Amino acid sequence: MFIRPFKSAVLALMLFCVCSFASAQSQHKLTSHPYTWRNVQIVGGGFVDGIIFHPKEKGLRYARTDIGGAYRWNDLSNHWEPLLDWVSYPDLNLMGVESIALDPSDPDRVYFACGTYTNPHTPNGAILRSRDRGRTFQRTNVPFKFGGNETGRGNGERLAVDPNDGNILYLGTRHDGLWKSADAGATWNRVISFPDVTEPPTAPKPGENPWVAAQTRGAGIVFVVFDPSSGAKAKPSSTIYAGVSLLGRDNLFRSTDAGKTWTPIPHEPTQYRPHRAALASDGNLYIAYGTLPGPWRMPDGAVWKFNTKSGEWADVTPEKPNAEGFGWAAVSVDARNPQVLIASSFDRHVGGKGDHDDIYRSTDGGGTWKPVLSSGATFDASLAPYVSDTPIHWMFDIEIDPFDSDHAMFTTGYGGWETFDLSDVDRGKPTTWSVMSTGIEETVALDLLSPPQGAHLISAIGDYGGFVHWDLDKPSPAHSSQPPLFGNTTSVACAESKPEVVVRVGRASGHHPGLNIGYSVDGGKTWQPPASMPQPDSALGNIAVSSDASTWVWTPERSPVYLTRDRGATWTESKGVPADSRIIADRVNPQKFYGLDLFGGKLFLSTDGAATFLAQPLRLPNGLPKKATETHPRGDDRGGQDRIYATPGREGDLWLAAFDGLYHSADAGKTFTRFPNVQEIHAFGFGKAAPNQTSPALYLVGIVRGTRGIFRSDNSARTWVRINDDQHQWGLILHITGDPKDYGRVYVGTHGRGIVYGDPATR
């Protein structure tokens, strides 16, 4: 998945905000209501940065993602099954999977190296160990950090199990050297004899963003490869290779005494950084190189072959980088024929245009190559229609099935593709590729809308715009939320009394530049851009639509508040409300809009359709919440809601969901009542009222009466029931909303596990 501004900022700042607030226990016991949970089908939507086939059991393979956990393929149902949905908010760091290792001698054993960032505020990582293929895990905390969503995350597997002795594992880290376990991952010790491969931080150039400068730094030890022929059953492999993401110095090391000593391999091509390696059964080690660790553009790269028996190196690059430059991301060898291999280019530009990456296939050990994709390959996107016009990019792992030489897979920034006729290219025939990501859901929901009529769900998604789901169990049709085509959609809203009018805002895709706002007048079936924007650079931010659809109010990012009464033909700046204010519409009165300055203690009310706002004091029981820096000295973002919500069907009825409390007002914000049973909020929303109830159901993610979870209240927050269980937590949840058409149904927007919907199990 791309390192997106919204993703990096949100998750990196939230990772350390994991402590629960102390709470007074109520005399009433908190009850649970069982729910069934399923993913809303989008399919893919994020960076699958590694696929690992088991070498000895057919059909057994795993996939890792940068922020969305890990998956195991189910060969019977033909879909990927998530393995880390049990990860809770305090442990959300584990959702970034840096590496996966399988035990070649025991197909039931699998190991995950988990951790999302290496910044100082992020907790250390952990090794998750399973003896039942990921159904259950044991955890070993390690004294260093992983970077599952940092540069080089598409590089090779840093974690590896000795194929001759399953108790021995080696682990390469980003900044803390090489580590070894001799007890199947339960304990770890640093390999002191491994050379110091520390790379100093990259200093930004004058005026350069430090984040940009960091992309040029290496990613540490990026792969560990055992030579199985150097050992025997129960006798550890004596030869081990480790590749390090270094430039201009030794970056490939070998041990020939089972890890006791390590030396650099002579004559290695140090003008590149190694990305991935594949050891063929004939003793040739193939390595894909690039001058940067990726997944950002790199100016140069190559594929080299190292004959481990003779010590000779050979440049077997399928295509030399052109004037615009490109690198090589991955290489894979056919387990059935050591002369057959495939390699993938990275960010290859042709004729001044980008996204023309290709796979190259050799049947003579890299002596000659044939392009695979550009030789007339066809792509079937029916399992994920939105990718039909999405370029192939971030092809950082390609694999040949060890049990089927015609079956190959490659990963992308939105999932991946597979073919079952790879060898057709040898005969001059085109290969056929289909989406391989069914079951993998890695989108990040930035807003959710379940309208009073029409579609079940309209979503705002990071990187891939958004989707309109008329059927939750089928992928949304292609082009469901365009034109204009957005990269990020940050907000979507409809008119309460005319829900067929839907407006969304975001930023137009770099591949399809255009206006940063779009609307539909048929409930999301078709979309169009307005005639204008408030300012030429207006983008992102929040949108509100009056209940009768006559007024749209847009607050673009870092911008004043603007309104339009003619569907975007003209725009006027709202008066009396600060810039960057998130505005919401009253769900009944089309003239009323609200804005909030929580920490400044002000509520802004408009009664003239957002033309002007008047500030009124925000009076909350127990005073105003403290700012994040006062409650969490290590950070400046508590990760909570701190928003107001207008109640469906009730004029002037507001809910204030602060990170550390829930408040209600029935008089347009003049007075508020606090509900002490709610101690922490991460997401809040409404749904259809329960039978015989007049108030809408409330849904909340956070802590209620000392229990963390997802909750529903049918009686205006007086009592709550927990509707999820410990196996369904999904790390970080950003949004929640009920369905106003279906009591009990709820939609949960996660940070990297897509959108999940739940129904009461007893219905």
Based on the residue annotation, tell me whether 471 is a catalytic residue of this protein: no
Instruction: Please tell me what DSSP assigns to residue 93.
Output: G
451 preceded by a cis bond (ω within 30 of 0): no
Q: How many CA atoms lie within 13 A of 571 on its CB side?
A: 20
How far lies 511's CA from each of 5, 384, 389, 463, 507, in Å?
A: 18, 19, 10, 12, 11
The neighbouring-strand residues paired with 38 are 757
CA distances to 47, 198, 434, 733 from 752, in Å = 10, 31, 23, 9
How far apart (Å, rounded) are the C-alpha atoms in residues 678 and 668? 22
Is the distance from CB of 79 to CB of 438 less than 8 angstroms? Answer: yes
Q: How are the residues of the chain apportioned to helix, strand and coil, as percentages rounded to the nearest 5? A: 5, 35, 60
Residue 176 φ/ψ region, left for φ over 0, alpha for ψ in the -120 to 50 degree band, beta for the rest: alpha
CA distances from 142 to 115, 124, 175, 758 (A): 10, 7, 13, 35
How large is the C-alpha radius of gyration of the chain?
27
The length of the chain is 763
Dihedral pair phi/psi, residue 536, rounded to 5°: -55, -30
- Rounded Cα distance, 581 and 542, in Å: 9
Name the residue among 602, 600, 597, 605 with its Cα closest to residue 668: 605
Supply the DSSP symbol for 660: T
Is 396 within 8 Å of 383 (Cβ atoms)? no
Tell me how far apart the alpha carbons of residues 50 and 33 are, in angstroms, rounded to a whole number.
37
269 cis-preceded (ω within 30 degrees of 0): no
- Active site annotation includes 66: yes
Here the tokens at position 616 are 């009124």
Write out the H or E segment, with its range, that includes residue 9.
helix 5-14
Catalytic residue among 66, 85, 357, 401: 66
Question: Can you read off the two tokens belonging to residue 458?
Answer: 């309209």
What letter would DSSP give residue 382?
T
Long-range Cβ contacts of 521-528 (<8 Å, 24+ apart): 523/451, 523/453, 523/454, 523/455, 523/468, 523/494, 523/499, 524/454, 524/455, 524/458, 524/468, 524/480, 524/481, 525/468, 527/481, 527/482, 527/483, 527/484, 528/483
| Cα distance from N-terminal residue to C-terminal residue, the chain | 36
Q: How far apart are CA 601 and CA 115, in angstroms?
A: 38
**280 in Cβ contact with 341 (< 8 Å):** yes
From the candidates 334, 463, 586, 653, give the one annotated as an active-site residue. Answer: 463
Q: Active-site positions?
A: 66, 463
